[in-house]
Structures are given as C-alpha cells and as structure tokens.
Structure 1
Amino acid sequence: MPKSKVRKKVAVSTANSSAQANTNSFTTTRVKVSGPSGPIYIGIMLGLMVLGLLWLVVFYLWGKDIPFMDSLGNWNFAVGFALMIGGLLMTMRWR
C-alpha cells in the first residue's frame, strides 16, 4: 500500500516573526464530544416512527369502527405523520 506524502511546513522568516506573532495568534478551545445515544433514546425514536405507521394502518383498515378515530376524520393523517416526523427528527441527534 503506498504511503501518503508528508506535507512540509512553511518556514517563517525571523525578521517578521515578532510582528506576525501578534497578528497570527490563535487560541484553542476544547470541544465536548457527546457519547453515543442510549438505548432508551433509540427505542423512543424507533417507537415513534413505528407508532405513526401503525396509526395510519389502523385508520385505513378499521378507522370507521373505532369511535375516537372516526371523530378525528382526516386529522388522523396529521397524527400519524406527526409521530413519524417526530421520530425522524430525533435521528438528527442520534449518535
């Protein structure tokens, strides 16, 4: 396997180094890296997506027989898609 080329550092002249030291000063800050998501977070995320899908399937198949689903009417689509979108939005914070 070929080795990658090593980049060479650019030499800074000593005459300008004191003048450039003030203008090129960089500060370093530590960044806290989050660990992996817990199993509860993943369970809730997947649960919301599956619950939204099941809500829509139940509405299509037996929606007229279930009184509270029948009273919601087409708002059942909003409930099902809101549950699925909530789970999908959680995937953006999943590590």
Structure 2
Amino acid sequence: MPKSRIRKKADFTPPPSKTTAIKFKSGRGYVAPLMLALFLIGLAWIVVFYVSATKLPIETLGNWNIVVGFGFIAGGFVVSTQWK
C-alpha cells in the first residue's frame, strides 16, 4: 500500500499589531486638584477643631464640626469617582 503524503502546516505568524499612542487627555483636569483640596480641607477642619479645644472653626456647631470635616472628605471621595 502506498504511503500517504504528510501535510506540513504553515508556521504561525501573528497578525501585525497596531501600535497606538496612549491618550491621557480626558478633559477633566480639575478632578485631581479638587479631590485633594477637599481631602485637605476636611482634614484641616477636623485638626483645627481638636487643636482649638472645640472653639474653632465654627463654635456654634459644637461637635458637628467633625461631621462637616468628614463631609468635605466624603466630597473628595465622590469627586474621585470622576478621575480617569
């Protein structure tokens, strides 16, 4: 019986890759500075409240000054969701 012919597979050549430049410009340049500013304002609010023995920043708020400080920090986290 005759021997069958062996088929040789072509070597695999990957398709040419498309090199594209990474685009970082998103048009939201305000997000990072605003986020950091809110974090720092909130932190400074809480620190000033404790260092001044609850007299500053707003004495009439009393312990609610802590909530205001954490509100600024929470605002920073909300703004950080827009960062790309």
Q: Percent identity, aligned pairs only?
A: 36
Highest CA radius of gyration, 1 or 2? 2
Distance 2:53 2:62 in 1: 9
Which structure 1 residue ranges, 5 or more long, are not aligned? 1-5, 7-33
Task: Could you tell me which runs of 5 or more consecutive residues in structure 2 were left unpaired when the two chains were aligned.
Answer: 1-13, 15-24
Task: Please show how residues 8-87 of structure 1 align to structure 2 within 5 Å.
Answer: 35=26, 37-38=28-29, 40-66=30-56, 69-87=58-76
With normalisation by structure 1, the TM-score equals 0.55
Aligned residues, how many?
Answer: 61
1:48 CA displacement:
0.3
Tell me the TM-score normalized by structure 2: 0.62
The separation in 1 between residues aligned to 2:53 and 2:59, in whole angstroms, is 6
1:3-40 Cα distance to aligned partner (Å, 9 max, x none): xxx8xxxxxxxxxxxxxxxxxxxxxxxxxxx92631x2
Q: Is the 8 A contact 1:36 1:94 kept in 2?
A: no
